[in-house]
């Protein structure tokens, strides 16, 4: 737990969030500023600042994050229509919260390449 980290506080429950799914590894919440009809954030319970800090020991956790995203997409009815999963890393990619999180977006046509 990083005491200055917004997502550590959400995981700990000291800041409220709309939770969609929780398991031993991750908490999935609704994004406060949704960019699509479904915009969820898959947040690992353990604080990792960016993808640059991943180690081989995190491989299972990153897999669990993707499986959680796919489960939420399936539960919400988007598995066949399609969905997008994105990690933003550092400034040029638009990362604003420095605790890794996998964005899950679905429910509208998503252009490619992204902006
Ligand atoms: P990033 O820009 O780091 O890739 O994504 C951070 C995301 O967290 C943004 O989409 C932003 O809307 C969301 N966010 C920021 N603060 C809060 C909050 O307090 N609660 C929730 N649920 N989402 C937040
Ligand atoms: Zn954190």
Q: Please give the Cα distance from 74 to 71 (Å, whole number).
A: 5
Q: What is the pLDDT of residue 115?
A: 84
- Tokens, residue 28: 């999935």
Q: What is the pLDDT of residue 2?
A: 85
pTM: 0.98
Q: What's the 56 CA to ligand 1 centre distance in angstroms? A: 26
Mutate to test the pocket of ligand 1, among 95, 96, 101, 114 (most ligand atoms within 8 A of CB): 96
Q: Please give the Cα distance from 46 to 101 (Å, whole number).
A: 11
- Pair 69, 102: CB distance under 8 Å: yes
Is 66 among the residues known to form the active site? no
Q: What's the 33 CA to ligand 1 centre distance in angstroms? A: 7
Grouped pLDDT means (10 residues each) for the chain, 115 residues: 93 97 98 98 98 98 98 98 98 98 98 93
């Amino acid at each position: 737990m990083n005491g200055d980290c917004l997502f550590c506080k959400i995981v700990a429950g000291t800041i409220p969030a709309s939770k969609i799914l929780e398991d031993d590894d991750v908490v999935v919440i609704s994004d406060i500023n949704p960019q699509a009809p479904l915009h969820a954030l898959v947040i690992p319970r353990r604080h990792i600042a960016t993808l640059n800090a991943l180690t081989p020991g995190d491989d299972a956790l990153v897999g669990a994050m993707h499986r959680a995203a796919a489960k939420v997409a399936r539960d919400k009815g988007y598995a066949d229509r399609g969905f997008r999963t994105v990690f933003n890393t550092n400034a040029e990619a638009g990362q604003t919260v420095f605790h890794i999180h996998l964005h899950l977006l679905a429910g509208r046509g998503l252009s490619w390449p992204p902006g």
